[in-house]
Amino acid sequence: MRVATSTFSDNFMVQIGQLQAKQQRLQNQAATGLKLSLPEDNPSAMGQVLTLQTESSANTQYQSNISQLQTQATTAYNAINGLKTITNRIGEISTLAQDMTKSAQDRANYAAEVNQLLGQALQVGNTKDGNGNYIFGGTQTGAAPFVATTDASGNITAVNYQGTTSLAAGEISPGVTVTAGTLGANTTGSGPRGLFTDSRSGADLFNHLISLRNNLNSGNTAAIASTDAPAVSKDEDNLLYAVASNGAVQSQLESASNLATQQGLAVTSQISSRTDADLAQTLTQFSQAQTAYQAALQSGVSVLNLSILNYIH
């Protein structure tokens, strides 16, 4: 049975086209180092790669969130540490002032120092981060959280909190959110603990400093002993709580950062194993495809020539 020349020719062209496409694909793999560039290269593997790329993108976002939260936590810690230095000195003054051998001038000097420390505490309360955001105002970051009222001499007579009582949170892994900020004040009895003022702990730093200063100026040592010293002690305890909480958050963020980095490397490795071409293997396959292409051309031409001769005879 004779095979029609047109049928052989059509099949031949299809095979030649397939071999050319294979050569082109292998040549692209050798040039780019990727064995997957189009879905049709390997639909199943490409689906896996797309899933892994989505996971990688999410992981990158988690790492960015963690980095931002770490910056917030570090900024807050530095400010809290500065405030701790202030309260340490305030505690010393409240103890020294109770000494009955201290003169009125001594207490006046202490009062002047407390007044200065009060101003420094206000500056800490209105600390900004590197982006110009106030760090102790809760979710209100664009305005100073603490506003002072002063007398004619410029002495602070009251400090009002104008921030919120909630903090922003960031997602550090699927379904896990962390709050790295510290709230300036909270008198609601629930939610994040306030650093300067908190109704649950009895902390009210600004008012306690104002009271201590005024009692030092008036020489009211009884009030200093019975009211101011215990109050300042509560402020110090509240700061210790803030330091511990900040440390716990930083530790959690450090662990999350290490885990996210490891997961990122693992996902990248998985993507690479599915997309990267083995250069040696690719070049060998390309050489084989070229040989097959040349052989197909030669055999095809020979068959077509014989078919033409048979037709002539």
**pLDDT (tens digit per residue) in 235-274:** 999 999 999 999 999 999 999 999 999 888 887 777 666 5
Give kind and range of the element (H or E) at residue 98.
none
Q: If you count them, how many residues does the chain have?
A: 313
Angstrom CA distances, 43 to 51, 62, 76, 255, stand at 12, 29, 50, 37
User: 185 lies in a domain?
Assistant: yes
Structural domain boundaries, residue 263: 54-127+139-268
Alpha-carbon torsion, ordered 166, 172, 173, 178, to 10 deg: -30
| Cα distance between residue 133 and residue 127, in whole Å | 8
CB–CB of 197/122 below 8 Å? no
Per-residue pLDDT tens for 94-139?
999 998 889 999 999 999 999 999 999 999 999 999 899 999 999 9
- Is residue 254 assigned to a domain? yes
Residues forming a β-bridge with 158: 149
d(CA 168, CA 138): 7
In the chain, how many domains are there? 1
SS (H, E, C) 211-257: HHHHHHHHCCHHHHHHHHHHHHHHHHHHHHHHHHHHHHHHHHHHHHH
CATH of the domain at 212: 1.20.1330.10
Q: Is position 277 within any domain?
A: no
Domain membership flag for residue 230: yes
The answer to whether position 298 is within a domain reads no
Say whether pLDDT at 163 is over 70. Answer: yes
pLDDT for 278: 46
Q: Please report, for residues 38, 71, 88, 120, 155, the alpha-carbon distance to residue 85 in angstroms, rounded to integers and kept in the order given.
A: 62, 22, 5, 11, 21
Q: Does the residue 275 lie in any domain?
A: no
Residue 144 three-state SS: coil
Contact in structure between 107 and 115 (CB atoms under 8 Å): no
pLDDT at 53 over 80: no
Pairing of strands 146-150, 176-178: unpaired
Distance (Å, whole) CA 190 – CA 186: 8
The per-residue b/e assignment along 57-89, b for 16 or more CB within 10 angstroms, e otherwise, is ebbeebbebbeebbebbebbbebbeebeebbee
With respect to residue 284, please indicate whether it lies within any of the assigned structural domains: no
Is 45 inside any structural domain?
no
Strongest mean pLDDT among 23-32, 37-46, 91-100? 91-100
Label residue 197 exposed, middle or buried (CB < 10 Å: 0-12, 13-18, 19+): buried
Nearest to 70 by CA among 313, 197, 257: 257
- In eight-state DSSP terms, residue 37 is S
The average pLDDT across 158-177 equals 95
Q: Which of 2-6, 94-98, 161-165 has the lowest mean pLDDT?
A: 2-6
Residue 129: name the closest of 180, 60, 64, 84 by CA: 180
Chain centre distance of CA 305: 72
Q: How far is CA 179 from CA 170, 172, 175, 183, 202, in A?
A: 7, 10, 13, 10, 23
Question: Which has the higher per-residue pLDDT, 277 or 195?
Answer: 195
Q: Is the whole model's pTM more than 0.85, yes or no?
A: no
